Amino acid sequence: MDSRLRRVVLAAVAASGAMLFFASGVHPQWWLMWPAMVPVLAVAPRIRARWAFAAGFTSWAIGALNSWSYLAKVGVPVVVRVIAAVAPAIAFALALLLYRSYAVCGKPWRAALALASAWTAWEFLFSMMSIHGTFGNMAYTQMDFLPVLQLASVFGLWGVEFCLFLFAAAFALRTTEAGRRGKFVVAVILLAAAVLGFGAWRLNSGPSRSETVNVGLLASDFNGNNNPEGPDKQGRLLREYLVHADALIARGAEVVVIPEKISAVVQPLTGEIDARYQAEVDTTQAPIVVGVIRKEDGKLYNEARTYLPAQAHPVTYEKHHMLPPFESEMLLGTSRVVVNRATTWGVAICKDMDFPRLSREYGRDGVGLLLVPAWDFVVDGWLHDRMAVMRGVESGFSIARTAKNGLLTVTDDRGRVIAEAKSTDSEFASVLARVSVEHDRTIYAAWGDWWGWVCVLLTLALMAAALVWR
């Protein structure tokens, strides 16, 4: 490699690394993700394979440093933080090598498909093994780009990131002779028009009948309300939340959601709180969902208790996916809660929304509104909130999510934010918003992760073909 080319490669690595740093992570700049990979993809066909691998690895690793302080803040060990940066950097570098093998042969479409399918296959397979599900997926960088986000209703989040990597590769290939061919350029333009056209159409369509409900959300991060200790403080907080829930209902709320783990409850506190909340619901006819830690017979449950009118006992939902190590001692839930009101509602808790499968099952239940108590880490409030929003787009329902140390958000099944507030906005932050609760059937809810498996098979086929041609 001559000195001039070396400078070009170093500049490309620095440019891609810098853009990836700001385009991803807990506060992504969605528009910057589209050009972020282009510099390193553009130089890869011009250098030897080992240098292309090094360039891809380094640029991605630089970008991954944006999550270092966040992971440290939430208590992730140094070794795990290193792995979290290195593993995807290796995956990207390998995907780049497959892309390069076709780019140097003048096969631009196969090169673009190789990058997009290989990366999507990696993220898909990794999510199946990870205790954190889809956390960190590049598709979440696009939560503010609503037209592209609509792909999730067909392909899941795998379609969103596939599109992202496909167009990055296609744009980078414009610097090659094969990539400048008229047919390739026209095909890329038509594909972009189809993606944006589908997104625009879906954003302007919806169920023919639209039942709505006024949703109230509450959260308090002040005066030790994040984690009250002792039955007196815990009981006080539960009673204060009830007072503010009553005020929201007086303003028109038809259902109220209170965050995850606002208090630990044991007898006799459980019985007292159940009686108070049930009396409120019976009087107002407005259901209330409240997140608590229930202690019973030496066992811990991360639970959402749903109080419905004229019911002897609350409907309980136990969290399915715990956050280690903070919740490792809690028992995992295995069932869903479906509430039949004017339409069908469901209940989930915080980290459950990192995993598409549970939400798909709610989609198949015909749920039109998912009620989600949560607890975030302040810095990841936006990202974790929008991960939940993705589930609504994928499986056809609105989301009402309220988090301590995070956001209170009401969104529709297209990913549009109807109302939003920070849990630190006031002593008891609140949101009151009307949202559609009609379920909208989606291909993704019906077919599941079909596109993820297509990407796995496509990657294997492209790898085999590249080896044969070599």
pLDDT at 208 over 70: no
The mean predicted confidence, pLDDT, of the chain is 95
Contact call for residues 428 and 218 (beta carbons, < 8 A): yes
The answer to pTM > 0.75 is yes
For the segment 421-454, what is each residue's pLDDT rounded down to a tens digit?
999 999 999 999 999 999 999 999 999 999 999 9
How far apart are the C-alpha atoms of 438 and 448, rounded to whole Å? 21
For the segment 298-351, what is each residue's pLDDT rounded down to a tens digit?
899 999 999 999 998 999 999 999 998 889 899 999 999 999 887 899 999 999
Q: What is the model's pLDDT at position 74?
A: 87
How far apart are the C-alpha atoms of 315 and 336, rounded to whole Å? 10
pLDDT at 470 over 80: no
pLDDT at 269 over 70: yes
pLDDT band at 42 (very low <50, low <70, confident <90, very high): very high
Q: What is the model's pLDDT at position 409?
A: 99
Contact call for residues 196 and 147 (beta carbons, < 8 A): yes
For the segment 113-169, what is each residue's pLDDT rounded down to a tens digit?
999 999 999 999 999 999 999 999 999 999 999 999 999 999 999 999 999 999 999
For the segment 362-387, what is each residue's pLDDT rounded down to a tens digit?
999 999 999 999 999 999 999 999 99
For the segment 169-205, what is each residue's pLDDT rounded down to a tens digit?
999 998 887 677 778 889 999 999 999 999 999 999 9
SS (H, E, C) the chain: CCHHHHHHHHHHHHHHHHHHHHHCCCCCCHHHHHHHCHHHHHHHHHCCHHHHHHHHHHHHHHHHHHHHHHHHHCCCCHHHHHHHHHHHHHHHHHHHHHHHHHHCCCCHHHHHHHHHHHHHHHHHHHHHHCCCCCCCCHHHHHCCCHHHHCCHHHHCHHHHHHHHHHHHHHHHHHHCCHHHCHHHHHHHHHHHHHHHHHHHHHHCCCCCCCCEEEEEEEECCCCCCCCCCCHHHHHHHHHHHHHHHHHHHHCCCCEEEECCCCCEECCCHHHHHHHHHHHHHHHHCCCEEEEEEEEECCEEEEEEEEECCCCCCCEEEECCCCCCCCCCCCECCCCCEEEECCCEEEECCHHHHHCHHHHHHHHHCCCCEEEEEEECCCCCHHHHHHHHHHHHHHHCCEEEEEEECCEEEEECCCCCEEEEEECCCCCCEEEEEEEECCCCCCHHHHHCCHHHHHHHHHHHHHHHHHHHHC
Which CA distances in Å does 50 have to 47, 83, 182, 332? 8, 21, 31, 45
